[in-house]
Amino acid sequence: MKSNNSKSFDSSRRTFIKHVSFGAGALSLGFTSPLIKKIYFQKDIKNKMGVALVGLGNYSTNLLAPALQETEECYLAGIVTGTPSKAEEWSKKYNIPKKNIYNYENFDSIVNNDEIKIVYVVLPNSMHAEFTIRAAKAGKHVICEKPMAINVNECQLMIDACKENNVGLSIGYRMQFERHTIEIIRMAREKEFGDLTTINAGAGFFMRNVNAWRAKKDMGGGAMEDIGIYSLNAARYVTGEEPISVTAQSYNSRPNELTEIDETITFQLLFPSGVIANCMGSFGIGISNLYAQATKGWFGLNPFSSYRGIKGISSNGPIQFTEKNQQAVQMDEMAISFRDNEPLKVTGEEGLKDVRIINAIEESIRTKTKIML
């Protein structure tokens, strides 16, 4: 049964194939003997949950696939791609059996593959809902990249599909699994520096490829969706509250290049406790920091959303932990929850909350008013 959003899903897929050409270059496993490689692979996957990556763009190629060589609870079992050359390259590089390689059209036949337990949706935002729902109907647990979907209705369809098919749904908020970030959350909850008063969070980079899907509105692109969501989620996990209002502004220094989206978005969130969060997401400014001011001191992360090198800071000195592969930690913890039917740290409902606020931020920009949540 197709949802009411099936037409937009089909359109998104066609647009995706037309506009997006992702680069290759994942790390090689480095084995010289096919026999040794086969024996190692068979030994390595014992008792692990097989993961299929849907979409082989930069994040899958350069971060998730290498991370799956470090995971202890899951492994790279399959891929879904619309590019035959990528299918061949990944098959050789990661010893992926041909039967575990799918394209966007035959994806539903994954229901018959017992080696694949988890589907990780790493597609443009406009395609998240379709492939999450299809994966759920195939009986697979789902990890979906953030933002969860385009709107609240799509999010709810995804949540319902996973519940109806008795599979888990988690959203790829890797920062909530990162050790320094977990410490920041603890410090806020335990009021180590007193009551919170303000939060400042900024996430951004200069996007040079203005033809990327992230710059296409119909594909779910935008500074808020792609990078601003880090600041939004940080404000929520630091306070442990849901905002009651939002006011937002936008700016575009390259209107002739970024014709469909805003380059930079700033927004202010008011929380029930009285905490005010000043946040930013930008495709024009390189920034990655999170500061929480409290009545007896301050603490934060700088950088706070990068793939590596997260550093904790506070008015009492540095916050230091041994760095681990963020994606590997995230996927291992999710795999354990799926396998053992334990509560997920990050649920579909968490993703829905951010999407609802993102939609309100866009409404505030459009109407130039404060939006009550």
β-strands 74-80, 371-372 pairing? unpaired
As a residue count, the chain comes to 373
The answer to whether 259 touches 222, Cβ cutoff 8 Å, is no
Secondary structure of 251-284 in HEC code, one letter for each residue: ECCCCCCCCCCCCEEEEEEECCCCCEEEEEEECC
Per-residue pLDDT of the chain (373 residues; tens, 9 = 90+): 434 444 444 545 544 544 443 333 333 333 333 444 444 444 467 789 999 999 999 999 999 999 999 999 999 999 999 999 999 999 999 999 999 999 999 999 999 999 999 999 999 999 999 999 999 999 999 999 999 999 999 999 999 999 999 999 999 999 999 999 999 999 999 999 999 999 999 999 999 999 999 999 999 999 999 999 999 999 999 999 999 999 999 999 999 999 999 999 999 999 999 999 999 999 999 999 999 999 999 999 999 999 999 999 999 999 999 999 999 999 999 999 999 999 999 999 999 999 999 999 999 999 999 999 9
Preceding amide of 147 cis, omega within 30: yes
Domain boundaries, the chain: 6-172, 175-325+348-372
β-strands 101-102, 196-204 pairing? unpaired
Name the residues annotated as catalytic: 146, 230
Q: How far is CA 244 from the centre of its chain?
A: 24
How high is the pLDDT of residue 44? 62
CATH architecture of the domain formed by 175-325+348-372 = 2-Layer Sandwich (3.30)
The answer to whether 76 touches 48, Cβ cutoff 8 Å, is no
CATH architecture of the domain formed by 6-172 = 3-Layer(aba) Sandwich (3.40)
Cβ neighbours of residue 121 closer than 8 Å, sequence gap 6 or more: 54, 55, 127, 128, 131, 132, 135, 142, 143, 144, 145
How high is the pLDDT of residue 35? 43
How high is the pLDDT of residue 30? 34
Question: Do the domains 6-172 and 175-325+348-372 sit in the same CATH topology, yes or no?
Answer: no
How high is the pLDDT of residue 47? 84
Q: Which long-range contacts (CB under 8 A, 24 or more apart) does 20-24 make?
A: 20/57, 20/124, 20/212, 20/213, 22/55, 22/56, 22/57, 22/58, 22/61, 23/58, 23/61, 24/56, 24/61, 24/86, 24/89
pTM over 0.85: yes
Nearest to 115 by CA among 148, 76, 82, 84: 76
